[in-house]
C-alpha cells in the first residue's frame, strides 16, 4: 500500500515497481495479490471492480482513511535500513581463490555493464522530466519533490559504484602488468595472518547458484 493513494490494480503496481522505482524496491505479482487482499481485510485498502480493454476484469485498490493513518505513522518512524547483502562483493572478496586477475577484471566489467545503463536510464528519466515539467527542479509539487530525491539517490548510488568499478579496474590492470614484469606472483605479506583473520561463511554457497539477481 502507500502507492495506492491513487487507485491502481495489482498489475499496475507491478508496472510502477518495475519501471518507476525499480532501483530501490521490487516485488512479484505472486506477492502483491495476496498482500492486497490482506490489507483490504485489515481495512487499510478498499477495492472495486473495473473493466479492462484486454483481459479479465481489473480489481482496483485504493487506500482508506485508516490506511493513511497507518502510512503516516510508518513514515514518522525512524529510517529503516535494509540488509544489503551484496553477493557480488562476497564473490570479489573471495575471488583470490581463483588466482586469476583477468577473471577479476572481467567480473568488474560485468558489474560496470550492468550499472552504466541503469545510471543512464535514471539520467534520461530526469531529463525527460525536466522537459515535460515546467517548474522542474525548484517548483515541483511536494510529492514530485520527494520522488525526485529518490531519483537522485539512485544516480548517486550508481555513480559511486561505477567510480569504484573504474578505480578497481585500473588497480587490477596495474597489478596484472606488474605480475607480467616480475614473472612472479606478488604476494608478500599475508595480511590475513595477523589480526585481520577474515573468513568467509557458509552463506555463500547457501545462496545457491542463481546467475541473475533480478
The cell 614484469 sits on which residue? Answer: 181
Contact between 67 and 45 under an 8 Å Cβ cutoff? The reply is: yes
DSSP string, 118-184: HHHHHHHHHHHHHHH-TTTTTS--HHHHHHHHHHHHHHHHHHHHHHHHHHHHHHHHHHHHHHHHHSS
**Is position 52 an interface residue for DNA (rule: CB under 7 A)?**
yes
- Whose grid coordinates read 478498499? 46
When binding is defined by CB under 7 A, the residue of 41, 54, 72, 97 that contacts DNA is 54
Rounded Cα–Cα distance for residues 66 and 73 (Å): 11
Length of the chain: 214
Q: Which of DNA, a copy of itself, none lies near 204, with the C-beta cut-off 5 to 8 A by kind?
A: a copy of itself
In whole angstroms, how close is the CB of 80 to DNA at the nearest point? 11
Which among DNA, a copy of itself, none contacts residue 23 (Cβ within 5 to 8 A by kind)?
A: a copy of itself
Contact mark string toward a copy of itself, 167..196, x via CB under 8 A: xx--x--xx--x------xxxxxxxx-xxx
The interface partner of residue 185, options being a copy of itself, DNA, none and the CB cut-off 5 to 8 Å by kind, is a copy of itself
Subset of residues 41 to 100 that bind a copy of itself, contact rule: CB under 8 A:
44-45, 68, 70-99
By CB under 7 A, name the binding residues for DNA: 9-12, 15, 26-31, 33-34, 36-37, 52-60, 83, 85, 200, 203, 205-210, 214
Amino acid at each position: 500500500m502507500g502507492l495506492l493513494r491513487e487507485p491502481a490494480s495489482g498489475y499496475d503496481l507491478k508496472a510502477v515497481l518495475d519501471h518507476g522505482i525499480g532501483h530501490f524496491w521490487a516485488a512479484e505479482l505472486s506477492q502483491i495479490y495476496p498482500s492486497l487482499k490482506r490489507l483490504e481485510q485489515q481495512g487499510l485498502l478498499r477495492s472495486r471492480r473495473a473493466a479492462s480493454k484486454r483481459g479479465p476484469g481489473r480489481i482496483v485498490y485504493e487506500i482508506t482513511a485508516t490506511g493513511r493513518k497507518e502510512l503516516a505513522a510508518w513514515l514518522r518512524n525512524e529510517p529503516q535500513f535494509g540488509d544489503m547483502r551484496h553477493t557480488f562483493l562476497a564473490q570479489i572478496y573471495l575471488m583470490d581463490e581463483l588466482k586469476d586477475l583477468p577473471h577479476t577484471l572481467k567480473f568488474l566489467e560485468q558489474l560496470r555493464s550492468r550499472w552504466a545503463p541503469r545510471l543512464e536510464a535514471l539520467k534520461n528519466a530526469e531529463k525527460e522530466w525536466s522537459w515535460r515539467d515546467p517548474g522542474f527542479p525548484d517548483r515541483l509539487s511536494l510529492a514530485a519533490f520527494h520522488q525526485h530525491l529518490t531519483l537522485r539517490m539512485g544516480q548517486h548510488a550508481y555513480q559511486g559504484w561505477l567510480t569504484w568499478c573504474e578505480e578497481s579496474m585500473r588497480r587490477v590492470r596495474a597489478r596484472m602488468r606488474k605480475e607480467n614484469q616480475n614473472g612472479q606472483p606478488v604476494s608478500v605479506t599475508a595480511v590475513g595472518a595477523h589480526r585481520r583473520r577474515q573468513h568467509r561463511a557458509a552463506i555463500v554457497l547457501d545462496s545457491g547458484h542463481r546467475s541473475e539477481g533480478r
